[in-house]
Chain A
Amino acid sequence: MQIIEGNLIFNFDCDAIKFDDSTFYRKHFSKMTNGIKAVDILAVNQEIGYLIEIKDYTDPNTKILTMNELIEAIINKVISTLAAILPMKINVNNSVGERQIAKDFLIANQIKVIVHIELPPQRRTLKQSNWDLSNLQIQLGRRLRAIDAHPKVVSKDKLQNLPWIVA
């Protein structure tokens, strides 16, 4: 399954959907109240449910968030997405794909949060040193530990054995 997100092409060997583009999320769930945001991709592989959020900072159109803004945004998206999965399984009648992946996600025995970040080529500047992805990973682990104590921060060159490839 192929999912295109901006300039990045994700190729999954497993089931995946562009979650924030799903009909259920876009037309129904997100309209319940202000402030609902969802992760970009939902995938399920071997009973592991993946919540994948993508930030491509090589794209000049990507809004630059500060570290804490990014952390809050990811947490909010993870929570909203998880809240959407059960009603997606129960209430979706017109999309077999959406209903099935929600069903598979709900019988998963592990949830993994993946933050896919592409940064511009490394230059050793003070500004770039500010993008310390290890800090981001540790803090997300602490904040999200009730959901996934070891979220991963990855990029297309460093996918850390995840079951998909990115071009």
Chain B
Amino acid sequence: MRIKSLNIENFTIFGKNQFNFSNGLNIVIGENDTGKSHLLRLLYSLIESNNIVAQQKDSNNGYLLQKTIPQKLIDIFKPEKLAHLIKNGQNKTHINIEFSEYNIPLNFTKKTKIQVNIDKNKVPARLIKQASLFIPTKEMLSFYDGFMSLYLTRQLPFDEIYYHLAKTLGLLVLKEISSPEKQILKSLETLLNGKLLLEKGRVYLLPQNGKKIEISLVAEGLRKIGTLSHLIANGSLNQNTILFWDEPESNLNPKLIRELAKVLVDLSSIGVQIFINTHSLFLIKEFEILREINTKIKYFSLGIEVENNLRVSQSEDIEDLDDLIILDENLDQSDRFMNKINYANH
């Protein structure tokens, strides 16, 4: 199952916006506070809700979704109450997620507490579980083990995404990995110059012909690469997965960003549907360098219009986007630099 589109109305910063996604790599760009993370988190909340209900194998799917979705939204967005997810000054939020197999249309109002409204006739009798993974900005390979018990027993300012990832990272590696993923795993292990090792809940990097190193002593950028490699090695990231990754470039040097771009394009080419958001023009250019006729890449640029409305432009062509603030800033910096140098020379 793949996510085909999302229609939202009055959700957090969004007014009335539609997103038509690619089956391959979906790249969300925009300034801070334009809803990039919200978009990824909303999609993830809806898939996770779908999965919880799918697992229950109950015929009353519509009713179960009505109760599961608000709880998921609370756990992932961490608002004090659901109503805080409705756009300021509005009373009602509408959301419709379209999967390749069916739609889930829902809405909720300021008065909604534990149950959103869903037209039950539109929800199919059987929901399909869809494996999904969300990698947040903060690296967590170095602390996932202790984090799980802490999350379950204490009030932490971390959302459920971190808990999900911690749980997934705790899975042991598979004995055999199927071939398309195996190639990608190999290239990641080349970057790491070794393999990850899980021993009594602790992660180590085992360099080729070397002594194991505690993961906390490995550079943070490499830990991110390690996270990806471990998720493939333990089978939780495979060709059927939908992958969300919040700012994958953070903590990576340009050389690693270049490799990361290749891994993401490779993953999308074996069938993984990917959603990332990024501030890195460098990463985007790498995607364009790697792009071939069959590569599925689509950009979504979010920008604020007058009266605080959000403008979304979407295209497979980077040059078609209305807002591309990372490029504007790059060119402006280039101007400021030239002016400074020229001024200094006179």
Contacts and interface: CB of A to CB of B under 8 A. Distances in A.
Interface in A109-167: 126-127, 130, 132, 134-135, 138-139, 141-142, 145, 149-150
B332 interface: yes
A127 B338 CA distance: 8
A139 B324 CA distance: 9
Contacts of A69: 335
Contacts of A66: 334-335, 338-339
A130 B334 contact: yes
Contacts of A68: 331-332, 334-335
Classify the interface of chain B: helix, strand, loop or mixed.
helix
A83 interface: no
B336 to A, nearest CB: 8
Contacts, number: 51
Interface in A43-91: 64, 66-69, 71
B331 A67 contact: yes
Nearest to B333: A130
Interface string B68-110: 0000000000000000000000000000000000000000000
Contacts of A130: 334, 337-338
Contacts of B320: 142, 145, 149
B285 interface: yes
Interface residues of B, number: 20
Contacts of A126: 337
A142 B320 CA distance: 6
Contacts of B321: 142
Interface string B297-326: 000000000000000000001111100100
Nearest to B281: A135
Nearest to A145: B319
A139 B339 CA distance: 20
B244 to A, nearest CB: 26
Given A67-B331, A135-B330, A139-B331, A150 B319 contact: yes
Contacts of B334: 66-68, 130, 132, 135
What is the interface of chain A mostly: helix, strand, loop, or mixed?
A: helix
A150 B339 CA distance: 29
A110 to B, nearest CB: 16
B279 to A, nearest CB: 15
Contact of B285 (A71, A127, A134, A141): A134
Contact of A142 (B281, B319, B341): B319
A114 to B, nearest CB: 16
A68 B281 CA distance: 17
Interface of B: 281, 285, 317-321, 324, 327-328, 330-332, 334-335, 337-339, 341-342
27 contacts: A64-B338, A64-B342, A66-B339, A67-B331, A67-B334, A67-B338, A68-B335, A69-B335, A71-B331, A127-B337, A127-B341, A130-B334, A130-B337, A130-B338, A132-B334, A134-B285, A138-B318, A138-B319, A138-B324, A138-B327, A139-B331, A141-B318, A145-B319, A145-B320, A149-B317, A149-B319, A150-B319
Given A135-B327, A135-B331, 13 more contacts: A64-B338, A67-B331, A67-B335, A68-B334, A71-B331, A126-B337, A127-B341, A132-B334, A135-B330, A138-B318, A138-B319, A138-B327, A142-B320
